[in-house]
Structure 1
Amino acid sequence: MPSTSLCQDEACPPYSLMDDYSEGAHPQILEALLRTNSTQQVSYGNDEYSDVARRLIRQRIDCAEDEADIFFVPSGTSANLISIASCLRPYEAVITVDSGHIACKEAGAIEATGHKLILVPAVDGKMTTTNLQKAIQQNQFFPHMAKPRLLYLSNASETGTVYTKRELSSLSALCKQLNLVLLMDGARIGTAMCSKKNDMTLHDIFEYTDIFWIGGTKAGALMGEAIVVKKAIAEGFVFHLKQHGALLAKGRIMGVQFMELFKENLFFTLATHANNMAEKISGNFEELGYQLAAETETNQVFITMPQKLAQRLQDRFRFYIWDQLDDGQVVVRIVTSWATDELQVDKFNAWVREWTSATKEFAT
């Protein structure tokens, strides 16, 4: 039998590698919230901190105030829902890859607004121009079919992959040709921008999309996302925030957090740490001969492993079983965060190495 010398201390709680929001917020953000707590501010996002945050984000994007409006909302689902609802007529539809967050993880929020989702097969988690063109061709029987009007992308994708500048520019050009609005979900845009595979700036993303948003919840904030809307389609956007319950009286809470994330380099520093921890885990698996189910480009690791190893690891770590395979193997998803403890990563890797070595010794 494989060795059982790995730690069995019941007092040691499982360490979460399940998501990038298990922790609260970066101490610097908490300190900023405390420091500004007693000041009186105008409500509903008109406070001085939100104004500063908008200015800092525009500086990072390299755009002027008359080019884009920025709105803060509390969650990713509200960011997607409001962005889409603001653009579409009742008979218009959204095109998304079949693994898209709005298709799989938002409880039908978009469909609940009356908009059909047109699902397209993903390629490495991403949309391609070929698949987009095919989806348009298959949904042209008007007025009997919902009219495709908006393309939804995630960067990073649901499998942690990132769009290249060439990929996004090609999709953007096709959207203009087809009269489609292009929306980018940026829940993990920080890790996407800090990926070694990334060749885009935030200005590139602004240029190629009509709406995109910058995720704070998964980037060290307590909560909050910043929606960047081009002026051409921003009129009336705030009414959608209000109607969907996302225009917070204490909008300052989000303003302070984004001000802190962007006043220096904290947003990108934290994202880089998350990516480095994922790379360390992924590299260990590859060195040991395990097969990656998706290339590790950001802070998500998808790995195929024996179910027994997954069960063993779950004694000390929490992560998703992403897929059950037919041969006693499973695909697991491991997610690192801005706060992932490198010592815990080292322990995780040591457990994998010891189990793998013991299993090979037993097999021989």
Structure 2
Amino acid sequence: MEYFVNDYSEICHPKILDRMRDYLTAPQAGYGYDSHCDRAKELLYKEMGRSDGDIHFIPGGTQANLVAIAAFLRPHQAVIGARTAHIHDHEAGAIESRGHKIYLADSPDGKLRPEAIDPLVQSHQAENTAHPKLVYISDTTEVGTVYSKKEIKALYDYCESRDLLLYIDGARLGSALTSPANDMSLADFAKYSHAFFIGGTKNGAMIGEALVIMKEELKEDFRVIMKQNGAILAKSFVTGIQFEVLFEDGLYYDLANHANKLAMKLAEALQEKGYDLIQDAQSNQIFPIFTKEKIRELRENFAFEDWAEEGEGLYSVRFVTSWATKESSVDALIRAL
């Protein structure tokens, strides 16, 4: 069975495991006060070209979103996201469990724009409504599309003008940064957001995301809120080691680029064979449209996710390539198309 379900099913890149093995019995300071977390932060600051952001290592993406949004918002404040937003359909109501409403904006390509956000902001200012305060986006988006610098800057400028926060879920930020559609760098994400996270779990790490807080007012007591929500690992050096390895020689970008290249190869073959995609292929998530019979046939040898009913007996599915996907696996899938 060839596996195209997600990009986090392998334990981790061998270089990470090798580095961990070097420190198996070496005592480390706990709770993030260790030399590995310190060096990982230095490497990330170098990538961003600045050191004024607070960096926190958090075990997973859902926890990063939960803790960040819970910390950044007052009880009556709400989030705006795209209708496909990960926090809406894939995190078991984690945000709502902290009392924060999520307003959804239509976005056919998965990307939010100021003109879609503004009506929700304008129509929810009365005292009997939850007030929008934070704009949530992900890059890559839930449907694999990638934001341009112009689009991110427009969102940031809009949020600045309306006293809103722009928060970027970067679970697949590696894929976004190495996408052929991308013109952003980590320095740009630091410049044009109030907080964002750099995803490790879906790009070769065993666990872990690096949350970067840029807006000064959001930094106060953040570690206390992390602790309250179980988001500080006693063995935080495990995450620090992983981000050291990922960023000391460009491995983070190499792994994401591998996944993207194989996804582009698959997307090109799909289109050559006459299959439509729900979105242009821009990252390591590809969404082709098949008949039910073709899906059944492919499932005999390939694992992937159903996505949506597209009408007229057609259905979209999701293929995801990872840092560990073999080109031979992609070739086998192409032959089966």
TM-score normalised over the length of structure 1: 0.91
| Identical-pair percentage | 40
Aligned twin of 1:346? 331
Cα drift, residue 328 of structure 1: 2.3
Unaligned stretches of 5+ residues in structure 2: none
Aligned residue pair count: 336
Judge conservation of contact 1:306–1:328 (CA < 8 Å) in 2. Answer: yes
Q: Does 1:51 align with 2:35?
A: no
Moved more, 173-182 or 327-336: 327-336
Aligned twin of 1:360? none
Q: Spell out, residue by residue over 1:86-139, the C-alpha distance to the aligned partner (whole angstroms, 9 max, x if none).
A: 111100101111100001100000000011111111131110110011111121
Question: Equivalents in 2 of 1:212, 1:324: separation in Å?
Answer: 32
Judge conservation of contact 1:16–1:22 (CA < 8 Å) in 2. Answer: no
Aligned twin of 2:302? 317
Q: Spell out, residue by residue over 1:16-35, the C-alpha distance to the aligned partner (whole angstroms, 9 max, x if none).
A: 10100111100001101111
Q: Does 1:39 align with 2:23?
A: no
Judge conservation of contact 1:69–1:231 (CA < 8 Å) in 2. Answer: no
Cα drift, residue 327 of structure 1: 2.3
Aligned twin of 1:188? 172
Name the aligned partner's letter for residue 153 of structure 1. I
Aligned twin of 1:204? 188
| 3-state SS in 2 of match to 1:262 | helix
Aligned twin of 2:79? 94
Cα drift, residue 319 of structure 1: 0.4
Moved more, 169-178 or 319-328: 319-328
Judge conservation of contact 2:194–2:215 (CA < 8 Å) in 1. Answer: no
Name the aligned partner's letter for residue 108 of structure 1. G
Question: Equivalents in 2 of 1:243, 1:15: separation in Å?
Answer: 41
Q: Spell out, residue by residue over 1:253-303, the C-alpha distance to the aligned partner (whole angstroms, 9 max, x if none).
A: 100000000011100000000001111111101001111111110000001
Q: Spell out, residue by residue over 1:292-317, the C-alpha distance to the aligned partner (whole angstroms, 9 max, x if none).
A: 11111000000111111111111111
> Given the alignment, which residue of 4, 11, 15 partners 2:2?
15
Aligned twin of 2:254? 269
Judge conservation of contact 1:277–1:342 (CA < 8 Å) in 2. Answer: yes
Aligned twin of 1:82? 67
Question: Equivalents in 1 of 2:6, 2:313: separation in Å?
Answer: 25
Q: Spell out, residue by residue over 1:32-61, the C-alpha distance to the aligned partner (whole angstroms, 9 max, x if none).
A: 111122211110011110100000011001
Cα drift, residue 145 of structure 1: 0.3
Question: Equivalents in 1 of 2:113, 2:71: separation in Å?
Answer: 25
Judge conservation of contact 2:195–2:215 (CA < 8 Å) in 1. Answer: no
Cα drift, residue 325 of structure 1: 3.5
| 3-state SS in 1 of match to 2:316 | strand
Q: CA RMSD in A?
A: 0.9
Unaligned stretches of 5+ residues in structure 1: 1-13, 353-364
Question: Equivalents in 1 of 2:311, 2:122: separation in Å?
Answer: 36
TM-score normalised over the length of structure 2: 0.98
Measured at CA, do residues 169 and 326 of structure 1 come closer, stay the same or move farther in structure 2, by a change above 3 Å? closer
Cα drift, residue 69 of structure 1: 0.8
Aligned twin of 1:303? 288
Question: Equivalents in 2 of 1:235, 1:202: separation in Å?
Answer: 23
Q: Does 1:155 align with 2:142?
A: no
Question: Equivalents in 2 of 1:22, 1:41: separation in Å?
Answer: 28
4+ runs of 1 displaced by more than 6 Å?
none
> Given the alignment, which residue of 237, 262, 274 partners 1:289?
274
| 3-state SS in 2 of match to 1:310 | helix
Q: Does 1:111 align with 2:96?
A: yes
Measured at CA, do residues 351 and 256 of structure 1 come closer, stay the same or move farther in structure 2, by a change above 3 Å? same
